[in-house]
Chains A and B, each alone.
Chain A
Amino acid sequence: MNANEQAEVAERDAQRFRDVHDRIKREVQRFIVGQEPVLDAALTALFAGGHVMLEGVPGLGKTMLVKSIGQAVDVPFSRIQFTPDMMPADIQGTNVLVDTDGGGHELQFQEGPLVSSLVLADEINRATPRTQSALLEAMQERQISVGRRTIKLQEPYCVMATQNPVEQEGTYPLPEAQLDRFLMKIVVGYPKIEEYEAIVDRTTAGQEPEVSKVSSADEILELRKVALAVPVPQRAKRYAIHLVVGAQPGSEFAPKSVNEFVALGPSPRAVQALMLCSKVRALTEGRFAVSVDDVKAVAHDVLRHRVLINFHGQADGVTTDRVVAEVLGHVQPPAA
């Protein structure tokens, strides 16, 4: 294959990526009104092979969004409604005594809802740390261990968790180790005022639109490889690194607010996440290489849950979004 043919293949792959992405997006938007940035971010995480945390007050359609994506992509979908009394075995699976044909009994492993492709972990912060930690292995290693049994989870595997930032009584905030495993944390806001009419029309008319399957698991896996092949120029790479380092207190690129209010900055995993998300965005924007603009566009969603505000910052009402915004304003893209 000569150079021009290689270029043609790459262009075809990129075009296919855009088509599938747009198809899924259009299908989900038949059901979800507005929330386009949220939908874009969720699809970015799906194509980048990461997990998503959706945070927003009740009633904004977080669960519906994830359900719609699960329906639009033909992958096994499961939903876990986390409660404080939920145990790890409830989500991973456990051995159950079942009747055998000969009239006997035997212990048989019954998989939990975690064994799926697209997992909706609803109100994840209501689960106890023990149950939350059961998710760690599944999210990072793409496998679960129950007793002596280790089950490989099938790809694509994506956990989309939701949490409510308001009702904090009886909740267990996720530890940093688990938060770091989410590729993106998406803040779901209220819809625009002109979107309310469409929401009312679509949800109270008695005929809810059905989301049809427009993609498959294999296609998603192929497109993930396409996204990974997108090259990153040095300038964008250095900028992503400077952003992550700039969010670490005491670093060379850190602005004053980071040194003052940040207790813990993002880890190198944040750079990986920035690069993956930037690659997906570059493809959806019709480019074949990552640009600084891509890094900037995904920085908020990638970094906001990896920055830990210290006590002083919390007392002053400093948010991670403000810190990330100041880092973005402080760190300039390196010269070409």
Chain B
Amino acid sequence: MTDDRKSPEQLREALRQLAEPVAQDVQARHVRDETAALRGLAWPTVAFPLGYLVLTFLFSRAGVDLRMPWALLLALTAVLPIWRVLRRREAARALRVREVEALSMLDRELDLSDRLSAAHEFSGDQDLDGFRLAAMHDADRRAREARGRMPRPLPREPENAAPMWLAGVAALCLLYLATQVTPVDRGAPGGARGERQAQVAAAEPREEPRDEGAGPEREPPRVEARQPRRAQQDASDSSAGEDENPTEAQRKGRNPMGSGRSAEARTAAGGGSERGQPSNQAQSTKGGKAQKPKEKKKDKPRADERERADEVEKPPQESGSTQGRGSGKGSSKSPTASPWSAKDQVVTDEEEDPDEDEEVDDENDESKARGGVQPNLRQRKPPVNRDLQISMGNGQPQDDANGRGGPGGPKKQRGVAQLVLGVTFPDHVSAKPNPGISKITQERIEPQAQQGDQVPGESRGARAAPMGHLTRRALPPWMQDIVRSFYLSLREEGGPQ
């Protein structure tokens, strides 16, 4: 039996030979995974062109041109696959299969209960005792017995790069398709639109070159809506007789107040035409605001120009500053008159409009024009519900919870409600609650004096036994002298000894 045994060195070598193919197999699996990952690059390759195509198509419907140069498109298409390749390469570099890891995997595969990994650990020990050697022999024997059950190395699969080629071709096709998408012209036919653009340019001499350069993609009605009010009136005058393009029809549909009117009437509808109807003027102008272009902010700095325009047309109006806001002829001079209260009734849709801050700026200008800062009552909302009533702690926010201290919700535990015992707090005892209801009744009772039994006094008898050790009190010297002299005087008089 001893002859068959290997020396510790031979056992170490045997273990190494055992671990080597397993480690190679693990590496091969990893390579296979990497190959699969390269094939998985097909999607990232196609992802950008596909998304670009979709976006181009969607934006073209809105009249925006997203087309880019081919070089940029190809570069953007290559970013994602290159990034993935770099990441995978880093992961592959990080993988190192050690012998002990390979043996541990083999232990699991062959159900050897850590025999091989333990033997590998013992093989590195300098002082090998009998049990360690026996463990190494046992591992070697078991490995030889299990040789037939060894996991076979994975066959290398031929790399098939077809999906990558396909993905590349698909990406190019998608990019080509995306470049072929042209934005949809949503405006009027070219001649009329160009003509109106010229009119708009005439009415808006300070239009920035960038806006002009936007060319046919720019939506004409929006540009029109962006104009200052006076300029808009002029543009309306000039375009009143034109054929109605879809945008005009759309506007009419939104603003029925202005349908079928003349240019002046429409101008009035945008300005002070709603005099006497302050309560719904906001709704009527809302349609116009919905058409409000984004460039309106650029128009605001031109207040001086607008004022000049106002001066020109001031005679027919009572108050130009309230134009378009419904306060005008027939309204009181007081800023808190009915038009403001009417504005208070405006529903919050306008307030939620992101462009409304621009409108507020206009309002401020108008307030200054009225001679002072006016309360911006349009922003007035119903007061915040601060009802702190106690809901008996079911933890569910109520319907009227507003997150500001109202009933329900987590903020309930703040402020006064925190001091009320009825407010629920998370229980620190995570056990089941005690079933049943406990009721605590407190009664306030005034304390009453009670007469206790009198204990009769009793004279102390003479001491019959020694008192034992008593600690001597520490008296000050002058008191000790007094006591001493007192007892000396008693002794002289024949008192108690």
List A residues at the B interface (Cβ < 8 Å). 3-11, 13-14, 229-231, 233-236, 260, 285, 287-294, 311-312, 315-316, 335-336
Contact = CB atoms under 8 A, between A and B. Distances in A.
B117 to A, nearest CB: 5
A288 B142 CA distance: 12
B117 A5 contact: no
A336 B103 contact: yes
A221 B138 CA distance: 26
Given A3-B128, A7-B137, A234 B121 contact: yes
A3 B121 CA distance: 17
A316 to B, nearest CB: 6
Residues of B contacting A: mostly = helix
A53 B132 CA distance: 33
Nearest to B121: A233
A316 B430 CA distance: 8
A288 B431 contact: no
B325 interface: no
Contacts of A230: 131
Contacts of B118: 231, 233, 235-236, 289-291
Contact of B429 (A3, A5, A312, A335): A312
10 contacts: A7-B5, A8-B130, A14-B131, A230-B131, A233-B118, A285-B113, A289-B132, A291-B115, A312-B430, A335-B101
Contacts of B114: 233, 235-236, 289, 291-293
Interface of B: 1-2, 5, 7-8, 98, 100-101, 103-104, 113-115, 117-119, 121-122, 128-138, 429-432
A15 to B, nearest CB: 10
A11 B141 CA distance: 13
A316 B432 CA distance: 7
A4 B115 contact: no
Given A229-B131, A335-B101, A336-B100, 10 more contacts: A5-B2, A230-B131, A231-B122, A231-B129, A236-B118, A288-B134, A289-B119, A289-B132, A316-B430, A316-B432
Nearest to A230: B131
B134 A10 contact: yes
Contacts of A336: 98, 100-101, 103-104, 117
A315 B135 contact: no
A291 B104 CA distance: 11
Nearest to B120: A336
Given A233-B117, A291-B114, A316-B432, A3 B104 contact: no
A293 B431 CA distance: 35
Contacts of B100: 336
A4 B133 contact: yes
Given A287-B138, A288-B135, A336-B117, A315 B432 contact: yes
A289 B107 CA distance: 14
7 interchain residue pairs of minimum CB distance: A10-B130, A336-B104, A6-B130, A315-B431, A7-B133, A288-B135, A291-B114
Contact of B113 (A6, A14, A234, A287): A287
B133 A6 contact: yes
B227 to A, nearest CB: 66
